[in-house]
Amino acid sequence: MIDEYGRGIDYIRISVTDRCNLRCVYCMPKEGVDFLPHSKILTYEEIIRLCKCFAALGIHKVKITGGEPLVRKDLPYLIKQIKEIPGIENVTITTNGILLVEQIEDLVNAGVDSMNISLDTLDREQFREVTRFDLLDKVVAGLKEALKYPDLTVKINCVPICQKNEEEAVLSMVALAKDTNVHVRFIELMPIGLGKELSGYTEDSIKNMIEQRYGKLTLYRKTLGNGPCSYYSLEGFQGKIGFISAMSHKFCDTCNRVRLTSDGCLKNCLQYSVGTDLKQRMEQGISDEELREVIQSSIMKKPKAHQFGEIEEPDNNEVSLEERRMSQIGG
């Protein structure tokens, strides 16, 4: 569907849980995390019903996220059901990879098209510092397992953070794309939740580091995914290097996505807390036709752009800034 600013909205990120088996410093606090009770989380049946409505409205691509999506039981069942919905073309997943070795086969059999594995460093001590768990080996084993499936597109998401995973970490992540067909993407840290207390690296500074070590990055013009990542080739590398730079290269004018939080709130923009409670509507007995209308009118209110780094308070009194963590929204 087309929103008020003429943007085609065809992609939804669905968070299936606010729980996680890691505690990344930019995403979750070390302790004292309050999780939603199970009764507040969308059931698989509710998610499937909503996906049918999204598909009817022209949303063809679904990303399953969290929290950590693989901690939710029977995720392959959900993926299989979503894949079977007419109009859904593509179902992908974003995971920290900890549980991949055990689950990859079932996920692939369920029909997952592509997998983003979040991995910020290949240095064990840095990994422990960033995620607060000594589990690098599990993620690396999960990545290797994922690469055994030739039809599965595998991408790595890395958020470089000042004083945590800096230049050498970035360069060793890039090296992963040399001999394997894995795309390594660098995400600029966003000032959401705990991200407000840290500093990240800009796209330009990361490009500089990479070019000094590996040579010229050449823009890759073909489409490689559903989102705002711009990809580059490096000579002699199998995989591409990508940048998702919401801060330094704002992409709001082509933003094609909306988000569904694990408690059923349809959110149009990461920065604002405003959203439409679809779970409540379903519990009140709304019909499918009414549900589609609610979704459509909610998406029509998608803001023109985020204003991260530009404002402390929104200029519109009717909206407020998002207070929740990325793990609660579904990054």
Among residues 157, 202, 245, 276, the one that binds ligand SAM under rule CB under 6 A = 157
Instruction: Please choose which of ligand SF4, ligand SAM, none residue 195 contacts, taking the beta carbon within 5 to 8 angstroms, the exact cut-off set by kind.
Output: ligand SAM
Residue 211 neighbours by CB distance under 10 Å: 13
3-state secondary structure at position 310: coil
189 makes contact with ligand SAM (CB under 6 A): yes
Residue 28 neighbours by CB distance under 10 Å: 22
Let me know: does 330 contact 66? Beta carbons within 8 Å: yes
68 or 263, CB closer to ligand SAM? Answer: 68
159 or 274, CB closer to ligand SAM? Answer: 159
245 makes contact with ligand SAM (CB under 6 A): no
* Residue 55 CB contacts under 8 Å (≥ 6 apart), including other chains: 85, 86, 87, 88
186 makes contact with ligand SAM (CB under 6 A): no
Q: In this structure, which amino acid lies at residue 241?
A: I
What residues form DSSP beta bridges with 275? 267
118 makes contact with ligand SAM (CB under 6 A): yes
- Spatial strand order of the sheet with 275-277 comes to 218-220, 230-233, 241-244, 183-187, 153-158, 114-118, 90-95, 61-65, 11-15, 257-260, 265-267, 275-277
One symbol per residue from 257 to 296: x for binding ligand SAM (CB under 6 A), - otherwise; what is it? ----------------------------------------
299 or 326, CB closer to ligand SF4? Answer: 326
- The contact set with ligand SF4 (CB under 6 A) reads 20, 22-24, 27-28, 66-68, 96, 118, 326-327
Residues of this chain that bind ligand SAM (CB under 6 A): 20, 26-27, 65-66, 68, 94-96, 118, 157, 159, 187, 189-190, 192, 195, 326-327, 331
